[in-house]
Amino acid sequence: MRSFNLRQVKLRPGEEHREEIELELEPFELGGERYLPVPGTLPALLAITKATSGLVFDLRFTTRLHGPCYRCLGDAVLEVPVDAREYQAASNPEGVEELRMAYLDEDNLDLGTWGRDAIALELPDKILCRPDCAHTEETGDTRWSALESLREQL
Ligand SMILES: [Zn+2]
- Output the pLDDT for position 76: 95
**Cα of 149 from ligand 1 centre, angstroms:** 28
pLDDT, one tens digit per residue, over 2-53 is 999 999 899 999 999 999 999 999 898 888 889 999 988 999 999 999 998 8
**Cα of 142 from ligand 1 centre, angstroms:** 18
Report yes or no: 15 and 49 within 8 Å, Cβ to Cβ: yes
pLDDT, one tens digit per residue, over 78-103 is 999 999 999 988 776 665 556 678 89
**Cα of 131 from ligand 1 centre, angstroms:** 8
**Cα of 106 from ligand 1 centre, angstroms:** 44
Domain residue spans of the chain: 3-153
- Output the pLDDT for position 101: 84
**Cα of 107 from ligand 1 centre, angstroms:** 43
**Cα of 61 from ligand 1 centre, angstroms:** 26
- pLDDT at residue 135 is higher than 70: no
CA distances for 104 relative to 35, 82, 137, 142, angstroms: 25, 19, 47, 55
Number of Cβ atoms within 10 Å of the Cβ of 57: 22
Q: Which residues surround ligand 1, an ion (CB under 5 A)?
A: 69, 71-72, 74, 129, 133
**Cα of 68 from ligand 1 centre, angstroms:** 8
Most confident of 97-101, 126-130, 135-139: 126-130
Give the gyration radius of the chain's Cα atoms.
Answer: 23
